[in-house]
Structure 1
């Protein structure tokens, strides 16, 4: 048997699970109902036999009073009283003055039994290891004034249990048929209900690249959590595919120019033997390679920044007052090479946020890169931290040429570059900053620098949970 067939046999069936779940309680219900039926039949049989037993006792007492001239029970009557097909019954007649007159001497009523006059009394007794049900009556001895007779008849419990079992056996087929009918109805109901999933199954099977939501129409209420989960999965897949398509389009758009330039300068180098021309072409090729490398890196960074929101374990408690100075210190050497005074200002106390260290580092690196690229030599760039009520503000400010007010609102758009800028760039740095800030539920503000010079970018973080 192939592995696929083994998996198919091992796969659980919802129909079988439902039917098994219902069959077990139905079987238990049949057993419980049988027990209840037997107990009820036994109670009924005990009642009927007790009535008959009292009547027989009264009949024997009447016989003793009217038809027995010597007060004794004839052998024929004794035989009939004690006869039982698979055992025997018992009787006794005790005189208060003379003791046992007739019957079994072991069947003497217990003392104190007759407390309410001469009414028949019923009780349980054991004789010769047999459990018996007895009825006794006390009567005046018609042949001896002042004497009392105690007349007792007892019978085994066999007939009572036999009748209860017969009632049970008669009821079991009807109950079994009822359970089978209920099981068949459940089978039919489960099968019919599961067929309601066929349109949904066919709809999903007929899809190829369609990730549109299934929706709630014509979907059973019990299946709604599943379909809504599938719709959520479809939404995430659509987002991932859209991100993938956008990445391909962005990469094609941004890498077209460097690749075309590489081809042009490679042709220049191949078409001439002039060392100066070849050197100039190679310099251009090197710059274009660096540009293509930076563009591809930023495209990947933007794609990572645009991924879905937080998941379990994505964030940790971070102290920006310790993290930001450490990250800024790593960029001081580059700032010195670019002749830019890079510094940090901030409080000494902790500034806690819930975030991702690597994303925050990428965001700050892009802000510093933006200043190093556009502020110009001799400029001053300051990274600062401060509180705004309960929020925390991270700012990067320079005193370079800045951005005209008409273009500030467009900062953060993908591939947007301020018109007239002589510096080469991909237009993705601030877009990456924007997406990482959104991932942290932070706000980005773009403003002019101090005294209207330069650019100030502010990231306002919400406080850490529980602070």
Structure 2
């Protein structure tokens, strides 16, 4: 858009300059043409004067006629040394006086005849006319090598076109610079919008824009406000719904857990076994629903826009890793999984509860999808001035083609066994964005399994 606008401005400003240059050249040509017409009239006026300058033949008939030029003729020929000449020929075309190269074919009419001719590298303007003189009918020829039309043709490049081209080039540079400076606020606005995160819907600075651009900035701010209000409404709805569901779901889960324990301790007849299986299915569904509500609430609270105003604090990652290991140790032991630590004493600036949620989701996924007897390792270490936080397992892993999609909300790889809602990695990715990072999914150390890394 800006490139097209810049091009249109340049064309609209430079086209009048080009038109003016062409008009200037045309006026120069018309001026030279008018001068040339005046020169033709002057040459035509000199013809009878040259004819009247013949005063008679010499002492012998073989002698050439005597020529006594008028002062006007002498001034004409003296002012143009080497660029003026004449010839007097009789009716048969025999040269009587003057330049031999001008003794050309005589005109057939009594009117003056004009033409241009190239001779000795000079373009001459030549006039010929029959005149009656004291020695009879004579053809008078006068040549002028200073024809203004020819001078204009020779000097058009140096005196007309070249200065105009230089003027147009200088004007193009000046106009380009002026257009660039004039469009700089638009370029700054474009850069400001392009640098923004898709989640940054804060208002643009209206005072920093010129008056002509402010309506556009106001329209963008109004659009940002509407989109932000709609997104905020959706976030509030998800958070409120998840929060309201937590209490009844907790009560329902406790009742189902108690019922499941009671059913398991009862006698194992056929009917009771069937009921016990149904209770266990109900317990699994209740656990998944409770986990979904908790994850939705965590996802809403972890949104990058809602965390921008909250200050970060120094977080001890080693202590955080130890806490997460303790909370997931029972689940790992139940499956015979070796859940271990590989940590260094490192700290980062961040939101502790969000980082705890991130690491908890990663470890929960690793324990959930790693088969019995597997290994899950939690790591934190310093790496080139940054801090590395990762969880590695030797489970089935994620195909490389699916690694981008598993970060999407509610997406699960087809054929995946185990319970899950497809929100764990999405929540971890959202928390990583809050900390100006992202999840990196790689294969495990032995080429299988999954390693999820966050560089802070």
TM > 0.5: no
TM-score, scaled relative to structure 1: 0.43
TM-score, scaled relative to structure 2: 0.44
